[in-house]
Structure 1
Amino acid sequence: MRKLMKIVVALLIVLILIAGGVGGYLWYDTKQHVDQFVMMAKPFAEISYGGIEVSPAGSLGVTRLRISPNMVNDVITIGAIRMHAPNILALLKTRWQLSQAELPGALSLSVREFELPLHGGILGASPPSSQQSGPLEDLDALGCGQVAHLGGTEWQEMGYDHFIGNVEIGYHLDAARNVLAVRVDSNTRDWATLNMDIGFAIPGSVRSITELAAQTKPRLASLNVTIQDDGFNQRRNNYCAAKAGKTIDDYLANHVRLLVERLGANGINPGPGLVAAYRKFLVDGGRITLTATPPAPIDPTELQHYTAEDVIKLLGLKMQVNGEAVADLSASWDSAKIARALGAEPQPEKLVEEAAPAPAEQVVMIQKSYHPTPVGELGQHVGKIAKLKTATGATFKGQLEAVAEGIVKIKIRKSGGSVTLSLRTNEIDSAQVIY
């Protein structure tokens, strides 16, 4: 027994020495990098910090930062910025992996006690003019009397003095399910809290940051978003009701009416259930939760080509307000109007087919046209241009990329590049192929 105790004590001493050596290396290496960054930032901002902290629990950070941007009269203070790993040895391995552009299995970064005054040059800047503001901006100020924009000045009048918050962003790779799980936790004191979990499907093992970045079309596997009101709703309601010279109930009714009208004029038409849920959240505060559990992972960029009703089904969307399910999630939208409102209206597309050059002594004109094709035979035309019409009435023109397991993949050319849609064969009403 005594010999066993000696072995245990010896192992503990060795572990402590290793942890101390690793901690010393990490402290020195981090300080060098932070000092280099401070020097590089001098043309843009004055940065000072209190110290470097290394925890045996697996965190490494910079404390008591003070940032003074040169271009504005403002000071940003941060209690600490820390990188987290499961333990100090994992942290050392993580540092090495990052230096080699490898992707660690799990990592998170936290910013604590981020503080920014509302009267400075960043948050206290002049509000944008009506020409600079888009039709889908400043929706939270609708019905607020003569106030068209909520910013630093308005927040001060609501009783806020500083913007004080915390945020932590992290991920871990679930190799068993081929999912990259991302988590974001953020809260602003006396304002609101945001918790967001997103799962992205990845094709097999991803070993490097480069491989992850190459996944230009991440597929959404799951989503859970919770917004917790920590006092902002009541302050905004009281402030805007006073500015409008109305009771709070009358202000809220007017605000919701104006919001629905503005959204509708720009192609977004929320149904009665969503409107009632939004009003309930404004009145009661509490929390609003949105979850998505798609039957199969889906590329979010594809959703713009579906109707709102189909998007709800494809994502398996559910919503709750203060634990009460919102039964009616009906909505509709006009993609063209939304694109115009966002200043992202696509250019007209042209379908061009080029024939191979014929011998100089003979010119052959090959006339190609669309031919009706059974959906079950689309696999015979991979690589050709097709026109697919879905049950919702949407029509997609592009190049057939693959047909397998009840899914038809079609690449559509856009002004900014291309997008590949995955359509289920049972959703395709008719198909035509050029040949």
Structure 2
Amino acid sequence: MRKLFRLLGFLLIPALIAGGAYGYYWYQVKSSADRMVDAAAPYAKISYARVVAGLDGSAGIAGVQVTPVGSKDSVLIGSVLFQAPDPLFYLDAEKTLREGSWPEHMALSITGLDMNLDADYLAQWEAMGQSFAVPQQGTGFEALACGDVQRFDLATTRAMKYQRLNMDMLVAMDFMPRTQSLRLRSDVSVADMAQTSFYVDLSLASNVLSIGSLVQAQPTLERVSLDYSDLGYNARRNRFCAQRGGYAPDEYAQRHSEMVHSELKQLGWSVPELLLKAYADLQQPRAILQVAAEPPPGFGAQSMATISSPEDLLDLLNIRVSVNGVSQDLSSINWSLDPGEAVAANAAAEVLSSDALQSENLTAGVVEKRAPQEDLVIELEQPRPEPGQVAVIIDPDVVQVMPGIVVKAKAAEKTYKPTAVQQVHGYAGQKVKLRTYFGRRIEGTLVRVAGGNLEVEQRLDRGVAIFPIAADKVAELSVWR
């Protein structure tokens, strides 16, 4: 009997220790949740049904109800969970995030977030947003070809037969110490509407992830990607706008894209037909949009300081766009106002200004007649050499080969001379001017040519930065020589 008790004690002691550890883990999760509820009290009343403390490292609350201050309606949330590698992280999670090394994987997920579109807090938020927004005249681009609709607002969404919004969200971080890279990910899915995925890949030059390493490592951008998929919104909008406009739903995408093209043309923008077709395809049900940017190595915060136009953005970030699996050529877009439109606008402004000035003078009864101005010419008398006096040559670039005969022997001046990209490797350290196929102009000092890139040093307001430019993107190149 005594041996049996010893055996039971041997088995119960580890179970009690494990149970106590889990109880402490559960208590830590509940304490953190209660602190967040108290911190949000000035803005919303939050309640939850139960605490989740999973052995896989998932911890949070479920059955959440959020009621904004001043509202009678609530936002319902199925669960709010934080994901860590294991439960040990939560024993001192706040201190670890603030001072220690972060785990290689962390994520925050919100599932089953449900909002009624008739809720009073949505109307309050919309009114607040409109109070800060700049008033717009006419119909917005998104509402073109949609009958009498001028904006896609909350009322328009309800008119499309949307009564509730149900969505899931995920924000995740994955750190790979071996490759010293960090991936940030965000996924949002709205039922019967759309889903998006956003990725950012960074290079840290550090084997440890913490607040200190992020500050000291000066992360550089490796890749950015955005994936968008329609889950039913396009079909509802097409039917709604076709009904408002009085035509078939299949005609909406083409009509809408044509009106957008007309508006852009009036603004002086030139958009090729292929991109207009891609835009129309993006309005079709179940459309897919993919955008990716892969800048050259070493692209950091200083590189962003040189971006001053869409052409610069396309050139530096190497942006690629795909609609329904078909790649799009963005280099054919004229991102600036059409010169003819700009000249016409300037001429009209000058005419209006001149007419206004003449009208003002006539109203005042003053007519000023100006006499034509004559050029003022001053002649300086040149002293003539006396007979027999020998002229002294003081120009160092002039050589007298015989009495009375001189030759200009000055060396050729350096200028920016056109140079082939294939030959530029021999001009490291020289000043260069180049223009890319996207129209971006760059001037600086050529540092070196490596990896298919021309590394050019440019002086900025806050110092000096070196930017890589892909050699195959260079349209014109001149070297100071």
Q: Does the pair score TM above 0.5?
A: yes
State how far apart, in whole Å, the 1-side matches of 2:138 and 2:17 are. 56
Give the equivalent residue in structure 2 for 1:394: 440
Give the equivalent residue in structure 2 for 1:288: 289
Give the equivalent residue in structure 1 for 2:201: 199
Query: Which structure's CA Rg is the greater one?
Result: 2
What letter matches 1:319 in structure 2? S
State how far apart, in whole Å, the 2-side matches of 1:63 and 1:372 are. 68
Give the equivalent residue in structure 1 for 2:88: 89
Moved more, 306-315 or 21-30: 306-315
Alignment of structure 1 residues 32-181 onto 2, 5 Å = 32-72=31-71, 74-90=73-89, 92=91, 96-100=95-99, 102-124=101-123, 125-126=126-127, 128=130, 132-133=134-135, 138-181=140-183
Give the equivalent residue in structure 1 for 2:359: none
Contact 1:410 1:421 in 2 (8 A): yes
1:319 aligns with 2:364: no
User: The residue matched to 1:123 in structure 2 has which SS?
Assistant: helix
- CA shift, 1:53, in A, is 0.9
State how far apart, in whole Å, the 2-side matches of 1:179 and 1:137 are. 45
Alignment of structure 1 residues 399-418 onto 2, 5 Å = 405=450, 406-413=454-461
Moved more, 274-283 or 202-211: 202-211
Closer, same or farther: CA 335–297 of 1 in aligned 2, 3 Å: farther
Alignment of structure 1 residues 342-357 onto 2, 5 Å = none
- CA shift, 1:200, in A, is 1.9
State how far apart, in whole Å, the 1-side matches of 2:318 and 2:172 are. 24
Give the equivalent residue in structure 1 for 2:253: 252
Closer, same or farther: CA 36–432 of 1 in aligned 2, 3 Å: farther
RMSD: 4.2
Closer, same or farther: CA 269–228 of 1 in aligned 2, 3 Å: same
- CA shift, 1:12, in A, is 12
The one of the two structures with greater contact order (alpha-carbon pairs below 8 A, sep at least 6) is 1
Deviations 1:32-57 (A, max 9, x none): 23223322332222222222210001
Contact 1:290 1:318 in 2 (8 A): yes
State how far apart, in whole Å, the 2-side matches of 1:118 and 1:288 are. 27
State how far apart, in whole Å, the 2-side matches of 1:95 and 1:12 are. 32
- CA shift, 1:268, in A, is 5.9
- CA shift, 1:77, in A, is 1.8
- CA shift, 1:372, in A, is 5.8
Give the equivalent residue in structure 1 for 2:342: none
- CA shift, 1:111, in A, is 0.5
Deviations 1:328-352 (A, max 9, x none): 4544253699xxxxxxxxxxxxxxx
Give the equivalent residue in structure 1 for 2:238: 237
Q: TM-score, normalised by structure 1?
A: 0.71
State how far apart, in whole Å, the 1-side matches of 2:427 and 2:11 are. 66
Closer, same or farther: CA 13–320 of 1 in aligned 2, 3 Å: farther
State how far apart, in whole Å, the 1-side matches of 2:313 and 2:305 are. 11
Percent sequence identity over aligned pairs: 23
Give the equivalent residue in structure 1 for 2:365: none
Alignment of structure 1 residues 420-435 onto 2, 5 Å = 420=465, 422-424=467-469, 426=471, 427=474, 429-430=477-478
Unmatched segments (≥5 aa) in structure 2:
1-9, 339-413
Moved more, 224-233 or 194-203: 194-203
- CA shift, 1:68, in A, is 1.6
What letter matches 2:171 in structure 1? I
Contact 1:182 1:198 in 2 (8 A): yes
User: The residue matched to 1:276 in structure 2 has which SS?
Assistant: helix
State how far apart, in whole Å, the 2-side matches of 1:22 and 1:47 are. 28
State how far apart, in whole Å, the 1-side matches of 2:479 and 2:90 are. 54
What letter matches 2:176 in structure 1? D
State how far apart, in whole Å, the 2-side matches of 1:267 and 1:102 are. 53
State how far apart, in whole Å, the 2-side matches of 1:409 and 1:174 are. 32
Contact 2:320 2:328 in 1 (8 A): no
What letter matches 1:317 in structure 2? R
What letter matches 1:145 in structure 2? G
State how far apart, in whole Å, the 2-side matches of 1:243 and 1:180 are. 48
Moved more, 131-140 or 145-154: 131-140
Give the equivalent residue in structure 2 for 1:364: none
Closer, same or farther: CA 44–128 of 1 in aligned 2, 3 Å: closer
What letter matches 2:175 in structure 1? L
Closer, same or farther: CA 53–403 of 1 in aligned 2, 3 Å: same
State how far apart, in whole Å, the 2-side matches of 1:22 and 1:268 are. 65
Give the equivalent residue in structure 2 for 1:353: none
Contact 2:204 2:218 in 1 (8 A): no
- CA shift, 1:135, in A, is 9.0
Give the equivalent residue in structure 2 for 1:26: 25
* Matched residue count: 380
Give the equivalent residue in structure 2 for 1:346: none
Contact 1:171 1:180 in 2 (8 A): yes
Give the equivalent residue in structure 1 for 2:304: 301
Closer, same or farther: CA 310–27 of 1 in aligned 2, 3 Å: closer
Give the equivalent residue in structure 1 for 2:351: none
Deviations 1:76-132 (A, max 9, x none): 221111111233235557655214253332111101111222122443335848972
Closer, same or farther: CA 330–69 of 1 in aligned 2, 3 Å: same
State how far apart, in whole Å, the 1-side matches of 2:86 and 2:223 are. 28
Give the equivalent residue in structure 2 for 1:354: none
State how far apart, in whole Å, the 2-side matches of 1:291 and 1:11 are. 56
